[in-house]
A = this chain, B = another copy of it.
Amino acid sequence: MIHQEAVTVMSNKQIAEATFEVELKGACVEAMTTPGQFVHVQTGGGWEHVLRRPLSIANVEDDVVSIVYKVIGQGTEWLTNQKPGQMINVLAPLGNGFPYEAIHNKRILLIGGGVGVPPLYYLGKKLQERGNEITTVLGFQHKAAVFYEEKFQSLGNCYVATNDGSYGTKGFVTDITKELYPNMDHYFTCGPTPMLQAVTKQLPIPGHVSLEERMGCGVGACFACVCKTTDAHDPKGYRKICQDGPVFEANKVVLT
């Protein structure tokens, strides 16, 4: 059941370079039980912004959901100005989310890049509750952009790569995962498309990817957000990222 609700800003603070964490409280948070789902956020007053902004669920505690967002354009800029006590209209929860329920006592590799990192934290929590062993690899551009490292450390080992080497390993997440994957059962990844391409190419173990695409409706009605399936015999040949995704089994969809 998808809710539209004006939720209340509890806090909204910068946690890294151009990166903010906002906590939102509302009745619809109760339905946010599945990591990997997202919240479609109305930004701006009036109708200057006709589209909502898709942002992932980073964590849920009771009836408060945390979202980590990077300031990109007008909508996220507007978000930074919303103060505690103000209301924000959200459509949530949207999408399918990560299939974590049936995974128990496995060795799990979480691989996040940039603003793809947040949904993995809520996923990691849920997987840890199910007795899985969590290892995380995070990629950022440089030191100032790093966030959530300690949160992931509380779930298990956490490795960080930065493109310029200003923090952690210099290079890409795949420079780290290449050593780790032989001891893993399953991976979950979210981040920029080139990273997802590199990760899915590198890792022969089962995995799931979470995709991003520019969205219109966010609920499956407008066909803005499709991706192609890799299986030539798939009857539809495509999936809607907002409704059928954003999470897909690795190698089942074409990453472009």
Asked if A148 is at the interface of the complex by the 8 Å CB criterion, the answer is no
Within 8 A of B (CB), among A12-55: 44-48
A204 to B244, CA, bound (A): 78
Minimal Cβ-Cβ distance residue in B for A78: B45
Asked if A183 is at the interface of the complex by the 8 Å CB criterion, the answer is no
A85 to B226, CA, bound (A): 46
* Residue contacts A-B, CB under 8 angstroms, 11 given: A44-B45, A44-B46, A44-B48, A45-B45, A45-B46, A45-B48, A45-B78, A46-B48, A46-B74, A47-B48, A48-B48
A47 to B44, CA, bound (A): 11
Within 8 A of B (CB), among A60-74: 74
Specify which chain B residues have a CB less than 8 angstroms from the CB of A78 in the assembled complex: 45
Q: Is the interface of A mostly helix, strand, loop or mixed?
A: loop
Could you say which of A46, A74, A78 has the most chain B C-beta atoms within 10 Å of its C-beta? A46
The 8 closest A-B pairs by CB, nearest first: A48-B48, A46-B48, A45-B45, A44-B46, A44-B45, A47-B48, A46-B74, A45-B78
Minimal Cβ-Cβ distance residue in B for A46: B48
A78 to B45, CA, bound (A): 9
A82, chain B: closest CB distance, angstroms: 12
A73, chain B: closest CB distance, angstroms: 12
A45, chain B: closest CB distance, angstroms: 5
Within 8 A of B (CB), among A182-238: none
A44 to B78, CA, bound (A): 13
A78 to B44, CA, bound (A): 13
A117, chain B: closest CB distance, angstroms: 29
A196 to B183, CA, bound (A): 87
| Given A45-B45, A45-B46, 8 new contacts (CB under 8 A) | A44-B45, A44-B46, A44-B48, A45-B78, A46-B48, A46-B74, A47-B48, A48-B48
Produce 1/0 per residue, A77-107, CB < 8 A to B.
0100000000000000000000000000000
Specify which chain B residues have a CB less than 8 angstroms from the CB of A74 in the assembled complex: 46
A45 to B44, CA, bound (A): 8
A48 to B46, CA, bound (A): 8
A47 to B46, CA, bound (A): 11
Specify which chain B residues have a CB less than 8 angstroms from the CB of A46 in the assembled complex: 44-45, 48, 74
A141, chain B: closest CB distance, angstroms: 29
A9 to B17, CA, bound (A): 32
